[in-house]
């Protein structure tokens, strides 16, 4: 059974803290993605990566960075968490060698910044 | 990328077919139509995709009109577990990320 796992389902952090959200996939996928989801705004793309050590900005990269040192792992980093980063964070992965885009999503991490 | 238009919400009686429409009048020739759904508190789940022809899998059927300007996702026998937000997405080929809109909130009613 293919899987995308995220390090935490729920996380509470304080303003100014550095936050790491980890995502691991076991499908040997080339592509990995980070989205955030907020009520009324839907899913918005933060960053994505097509390969190890590669990254591309999505629609809302401000306040975030990413790291992809290994193919199976894609980390989202909040350098200095702020209350407006309270959200549901979703990681996804997909194969890089197909015409179509079947993305597999993790269960999400609900982050609260106090 | 072509934009999509979906009704914000729909109801369906349990056991009946759920037909979810999507308009994508600006779709171009090499763009696929994808359907995903998101059950409450879970990540989105891939359902089906198509380019020109109708498609069917164990979850659903996808009918794309001949001019490709609209499509319909059909869940043949809806169950309570099909209650979710359904997203219709149009995207070109390759690795580019999917862009999710607001989707249709389907409520299956007993």
In angstroms, the CA B17 to CA A109 distance is 33
What is the secondary structure of A2-43 as a DSSP string?
--EEES-SEEEE-TT--EEEEEEESS--SEEEEEEEETTTEE
Mean of the pLDDT values across residues A79-93? Answer: 97
Mean of the pLDDT values across residues A82-101? Answer: 88
Half-sphere exposure of residue B69, counting CA atoms within 13 Å on the CB side? 3
Give the least confident one: A4-13, B56-65, B87-96. Answer: B87-96
Instruction: Provide the percentage of residues in chain A whose pLDDT is more than 90.
Output: 84
Residue that has been written with the tokens 């303003």 in this structure: A15
pLDDT given for residue B93 in this prediction: 66
The two three-digit tokens of residue A64, written as one number? 């975030």
Phi, psi of A80 (to 5 degrees): -150, 95
The two three-digit tokens of residue A27, written as one number? 């499908």
pLDDT at A97 over 80: no
From B18, B101, B23, select the one nearest B61 (Cα to Cα). B18
Confidence of residue B46 (pLDDT cuts 50, 70, 90): very high
pLDDT tens digits for range B3-35: 899 999 999 999 999 999 999 999 988 889 999
pLDDT given for residue A95 in this prediction: 87
Q: Say how many CB pairs under 8 Å bridge A and B.
A: 55
Closest CB from A50, A99, A101 relative to B98: A101
Contact across the interface for A108 and B99, Cβ inside 8 Å: no
Q: CA A27, A30, A31: angle at the middle one, nearest 5?
A: 105
pLDDT given for residue B10 in this prediction: 97
Q: Determine the distance in angstroms separating the CA of A61 from the nearest CA of chain B, rounded to an integer.
A: 14
Contact residues, chain B, for A33 at CB < 8 Å: 97
pLDDT tens digits for range A14-55: 999 999 999 999 999 999 999 999 988 889 999 999 999 999
Contact across the interface for A107 and B101, Cβ inside 8 Å: no
Q: CA B103, A39, A102: angle at the middle one, nearest 5?
A: 45
List the single best residue of A42, A87, A93, A107 to mutate versus B (max B Cβ within 10 A). Answer: A42
What is the secondary structure of B22-90 as a DSSP string?
EE-TT--TT-EEEEEEE-TTS--EEEEEESSS-EE-SS-EEEE-TTSSEEEEEETT--GGG-EEEEEEE
Q: Give the bridge partners for A94, in sequence order.
A: A31
Confidence of residue B1 (pLDDT cuts 50, 70, 90): low
Confidence of residue B97 (pLDDT cuts 50, 70, 90): confident
Q: Considering only residues 87 to 106 of chain B, which have any Cβ-Cβ distance to chain A shorter than 8 Å?
A: 91, 93-103
Q: Is any Cβ of chain A less than 8 angstroms from the Cβ of B53?
A: no
pLDDT given for residue A40 in this prediction: 83
Mean of the pLDDT values across residues B33-42? Answer: 92
Q: What is the mean pLDDT of chain A?
A: 93
pLDDT given for residue B3 in this prediction: 87
Closest CB from A4, A31, A105 relative to B95: A31
pLDDT given for residue B30 in this prediction: 84
Q: Determine the distance in angstroms separating the CA of A98 from the nearest CA of chain B, rounded to an integer.
A: 7
In angstroms, the CA B68 to CA A76 distance is 37
pLDDT given for residue A99 in this prediction: 66
In angstroms, the CA A56 to CA B40 distance is 29
Confidence of residue B88 (pLDDT cuts 50, 70, 90): very high
């Amino acid at each position: 059974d293919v899987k995308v796992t995220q390090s935490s389902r729920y996380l509470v952090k304080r303003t100014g803290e550095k936050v790491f959200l980890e995502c691991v996939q076991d499908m040997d996928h080339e592509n990995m993605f980070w989205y955030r989801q907020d009520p009324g705004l839907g899913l918005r793309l933060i960053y994505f990566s097509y390969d190890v050590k590669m990254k591309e900005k999505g629609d809302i990269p401000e306040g975030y960075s990413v790291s992809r040192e290994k193919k199976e792992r894609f980390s989202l980093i909040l350098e200095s968490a702020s209350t407006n980063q309270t959200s549901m964070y979703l990681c996804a992965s997909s194969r890089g060698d197909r015409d179509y885009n079947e993305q597999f999503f993790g269960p999400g991490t609900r982050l609260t910044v106090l | 990328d072509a934009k999509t238009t979906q009704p914000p919400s729909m109801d369906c009686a349990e056991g009946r077919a759920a037909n979810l429409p999507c308009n994508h009048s600006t779709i171009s020739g090499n763009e696929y139509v994808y359907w995903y759904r998101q059950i409450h508190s879970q990540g989105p789940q891939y359902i089906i995709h198509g380019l020109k022809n109708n498609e069917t899998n164990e979850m659903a059927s996808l009918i794309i009109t001949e001019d490709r300007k609209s499509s319909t996702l059909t869940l043949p026998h809806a169950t309570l577990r099909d209650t979710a937000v359904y997203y219709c997405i149009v995207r070109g080929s390759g690795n580019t990320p999917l862009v999710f809109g607001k989707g249709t909130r389907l409520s299956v009613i007993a």
